[in-house]
Amino acid sequence: MATENKNLSEYDKAVLPEAGAMRIGLVVSEWNAAITENLFTGARDALLDCGVAPGNITRWNVPGSFELTFGCHKMIRTLSLDAVIAIGSVIRGETSHFDYVCSAVAQGVKDLNVQTGIPVIFCVLTDDTLAQAEARSGGKHGNKGTEAAIAAIKMASLGT
């Protein structure tokens, strides 16, 4: 596996764009809340660490990962933001529901990126097991929320 024994959440603030005035939205799925709360915390903490003002970080919750696309779209239409992070966790079950949800969310986030002109960062874990999700939401593989925050800062600065 590509991330075996690696923590990919380390970043160097010195090489990141100035983030002090950036306005970042986070849309967080309530499904698999223990995982998504860890992802949110990683994202929020990284944004704050990189200088984003606490008042410039907005959080909205949605019931599940499938609803992330609508939540992000509504947030973009309602607020003046530089980037949005879609935070979710889908863990494979016994049916094909996993495949449909993962595909729909990935396509939806891609569509928002193309259609809105605001970067929407895909921070949706698509794991086979709870242990894999835990390892990527603050465990041995770091926190994908942290990585999403850094991606949001980088994408928000494009063209500025």
Q: Tell me the catalytic residues.
A: 97
DSSP characters for 92-133? --SSTHHHHHHHHHHHHHHHHHHHHSS-EEEEEEEESSHHHH
- The beta strand positions in 4-146, using DSSP E, are 24-29, 57-62, 83-91, 120-127, 137-139, 142-143
Torsion sign over Cα 143, 145, 148, 149 = negative
